[in-house]
Amino acid sequence: MRPIYKIMFSSPANSNMRAVPALVLFFITLFTIVSFGQSKSVLLNFSSELQKEPITGRMFIFISTSNATELRTQRNPGCVIFATDVSALKPGEEAEITEKTLGYPLVSLNNFPAGDYYIQGLLNVYTEFHRADGHTIWAHMDQWEGQKYNVSPGNFYSEVQKIHLDPAKDNKIKITLTKKIPPIKVPEDTKWVKRVKIKSEILTKFWGHPFYIGATLLLPKGYDEHPDVYYPVEYEQTHFTLGIPHGLVDHPTPETPEEKARRIRNYDETGYEFFQQWTSETFPRMICVTFQHPTPYYDDSYAVNSANNGPYGDAIMQELIPYLEEHFRMIREPYARVIKGGSTGGWETLALQVYHPDFFGSSWTYYPDPIDFRCYGLINIYEDENAFYTGGGWAKIERPMNRAPNGLPTNTFKLQTQLEEVLGSKGRSGEQLDIWEAVYGPTDEEGYPKPLWDRKTGVIDHSVANYMKEHNYDLRYYMETNWSELGPKLAGKMHFLCGDMDGFYLNLGVYKMEEFLEKTTNPYYGGTFQYGRPLKGHGWTPYNNYQAVKVEADYVQKKAEELGKTIKWNYK
């Protein structure tokens, strides 16, 4: 709730008359504090021992009241963050962050109360890409960390140092970046887990730079002992991770009370409990796969072709999956290909199913990112005029973006936009709103994602919204418009699961999808919708991991029996 300022006086009879000069004085005082604070300057450079050549990228400072952990790794909102772009910055040359530089969540360096703080600097290094569409852009090249700029290999950072800030005094602080983040160490393969990383010629051609995509595979019990058996495959769509599918661990591991509470809340079993099921005599035998396909804009491409990310859909369907099917014993038939995923992975799951209805045999779409852009969270991007506010005239209400399961708003579109503007200009924040625009939207004149709304005012650009719809990223609209062609290929394949109080309001788009699908004829869609009630938030599922795999395996076996297939994979 936004604070309401009330000024009271001892004489009620004169309160109305005296309120006007008092309010004027109040706002003059507030304006003086906010607008006429002393100058602040943080000067940052990097050591020539790190690199002798100039660097283009984005320079950050993190300010916190605690140094219990490194500032660059403290979870939001542990730090206040400020950043500025740098172009061809030479070693020893200084980049400057001032009181006019936008920050998050505090807007200005002058907003800090007087006191002692800790500060750390970081430089997110950009790569120049000469793309096949004729644009040349600068962005961060993922180093197989999943577009996490604060831990990305090759980025520079400084030691943490203690400082004193005072809004009534000038401050000039100097920071030298002397450290470089080391390369990611990829876990080694095991009996159960195999990792694949291949160069994508399709993406390399588009980006004018070597690009790689990959996968992590979890093999079933008896894979090596049954060389003549081919298996159904579960393709799980999720954020970038080098972890093992379903969190499998072959030994008990300790967990903190917080980790246990989160696991129970999400209805997850432990990784070791999953391992015990996976290796039991009665558990269905499948291969489980997660993909790695980070882009210069996010940890994940959304598994589709787009103007800004390039042809990731083609890379996955024409390079990665064929490679996996060639090198591992996978059944190369639609009935045996299952796709699933939640949130970002939920949108990807539905998109892959809908765009490739003849290739995948079934899909389980959990709490998906917006699948109907009339419910872009709480925004109807086709009809609403402003992303930041609802209402009109003087009665503007800031539009929530996130909520707790009890309905309490925890973030707004305006605040999230501010954060993403700080983390990266021109759509390069690596965050949620920016990737939606990079995936669904057009490029601007420079070749960067064209914003759906103005970053300062929130005014929506309906030409961008219409582009998203016309290019088939509004999945409900695409399906409804093309049901006569898609329906016969999708009937019986689609399953949706979502909590009734999703933290991103994603249940609203799922409701719209259900409204459409329940009215379908010739054919009827023949799938399912399950909702968690009451007060079930983002991440809700009726199954833990091994239960979900069993549900999928039962579906595959039923289809195999209907098709008269010989089922060899369910051995003990």
What's the pLDDT tens digit per position in 275-304? 999 999 999 999 999 999 999 999 999 999
Position 4 scores a pLDDT of 30
- Please state the rounded mean pLDDT for residues 355-364: 98
Give CA–CA dist 245/335, Å, rounded.
21
Per-residue pLDDT at 227 exceeds 70: yes
Long-range contacts: 401-406, Cβ < 8 Å, 24+?
Answer: 401/377, 401/504, 401/505, 402/503, 402/504, 403/501, 403/503, 403/505, 404/503, 404/537, 405/499, 405/501, 405/503, 405/535, 405/536, 405/537, 406/501, 406/535
Label residue 391 by pLDDT band (50, 70, 90).
Answer: confident
Pair of tokens at residue 476: 């409900």
Per-residue pLDDT at 2 exceeds 60: no
Give residue for tokens 């916190």: 64
Per-residue pLDDT at 33 exceeds 70: no
Per-residue pLDDT at 460 exceeds 70: yes
Per-residue pLDDT at 56 exceeds 90: yes
- Please state the rounded mean pLDDT for residues 473-493: 98
Position 255 scores a pLDDT of 87
Which DSSP state fits 453? Answer: B
Q: Is beta strand 136-139 parallel, antiparallel or unpaired with respect to 193-199?
A: unpaired
Per-residue pLDDT at 129 exceeds 80: yes
In contact, 545 and 268? CB cutoff 8 Å: yes
Position 3 scores a pLDDT of 32
Between helix 413-423 and helix 432-440 the angle, nearest 10°, is 80
Position 38 scores a pLDDT of 76
In contact, 213 and 203? CB cutoff 8 Å: yes
Q: CB under 8 Å to 390, separation ≥6 — which residues?
A: 378, 384, 396, 397, 399
Give CA–CA dist 377/432, Å, rounded.
12
pLDDT digits (tens, 9 = 90+) for 414-438: 999 999 999 999 999 999 999 999 9
Closest CA to 344 of 538, 499, 149: 538
Which amino acid, residue 224?
Answer: D
Position 9 scores a pLDDT of 24
Per-residue pLDDT at 6 exceeds 60: no
Position 11 scores a pLDDT of 31
Pair of tokens at residue 510: 């799922």
Which amino acid, residue 25?
Answer: L
Main-chain dihedrals φ then ψ at residue 380, nearest 5 degrees: -95, 100
Length of the chain: 572
Per-residue pLDDT at 24 exceeds 50: no
In contact, 367 and 377? CB cutoff 8 Å: no
| Residue 408, burial from CB neighbour count under 10 angstroms (0-12, 13-18, 19+) | exposed
- Please state the rounded mean pLDDT for residues 52-65: 97
- 199 - beta bridge partners? 212
- Please state the rounded mean pLDDT for residues 177-186: 97
Label residue 394 by pLDDT band (50, 70, 90).
Answer: confident
Give CA–CA dist 460/381, Å, rounded.
7
Position 482 scores a pLDDT of 98
Helices (H), 159-235: 201-207
Classify 428 as helix, strand or coil: coil
Per-residue pLDDT at 356 exceeds 80: yes
User: Whole-number mean pLDDT of the chain?
Assistant: 92
Give CA–CA dist 493/507, Å, rounded.
20
Q: How many CB atoms lie within 10 A of CB 379?
A: 25
Which DSSP state fits 531? Answer: E
pLDDT digits (tens, 9 = 90+) for 66-118: 999 999 999 777 899 999 999 999 999 999 999 999 999 999 999 999 999 99
Of all residues in the chain, the percent with pLDDT exceeding 90 is: 87
pLDDT digits (tens, 9 = 90+) for 548-572: 999 999 999 999 999 999 999 999 8
- 218 - beta bridge partners? 193, 288
Per-residue pLDDT at 139 exceeds 50: yes
Per-residue pLDDT at 20 exceeds 50: no
| Residue 439, CA atoms < 13 Å, CB-side half-sphere | 27
Per-residue pLDDT at 7 exceeds 50: no
Label residue 37 by pLDDT band (50, 70, 90).
Answer: low
Per-residue pLDDT at 19 exceeds 60: no
Sign (positive or negative) of CA dihedral 103, 62, 299, 54: positive
- Please state the rounded mean pLDDT for residues 474-497: 98
Give CA–CA dist 326/383, Å, rounded.
47
461 to 385, 391, 414, 448, 476: CA distances (angstroms): 8, 18, 16, 16, 21
Position 268 scores a pLDDT of 86
Main-chain dihedrals φ then ψ at residue 120, nearest 5 degrees: -145, 145
Classify 88 as helix, strand or coil: strand
Give CA–CA dist 551/496, Å, rounded.
13
User: What secondary structure, in 3-state letters, does 273-342 show?
Assistant: HHHHHHCCCCCCCCEEEEEECCECCECCCCCCEECCCEEHHHHHHHHHHHHHHHHCCECCCHHHEEEEEE
pLDDT digits (tens, 9 = 90+) for 265-274: 777 899 999 9
Q: Is beta strand 400-403 parallel, antiparallel or unpaired with respect to 409-412?
A: antiparallel
pLDDT digits (tens, 9 = 90+) for 198-225: 999 999 999 999 999 999 999 999 999 9
Position 23 scores a pLDDT of 32
Pair of tokens at residue 325: 């099917």
> Model pTM?
0.91
When computed from its CA atoms, the radius of gyration of the chain, rounded to whole angstroms, is 26
Position 1 scores a pLDDT of 34
Give CA–CA dist 229/138, Å, rounded.
47
Position 8 scores a pLDDT of 26
- 57 - beta bridge partners? 86, 125
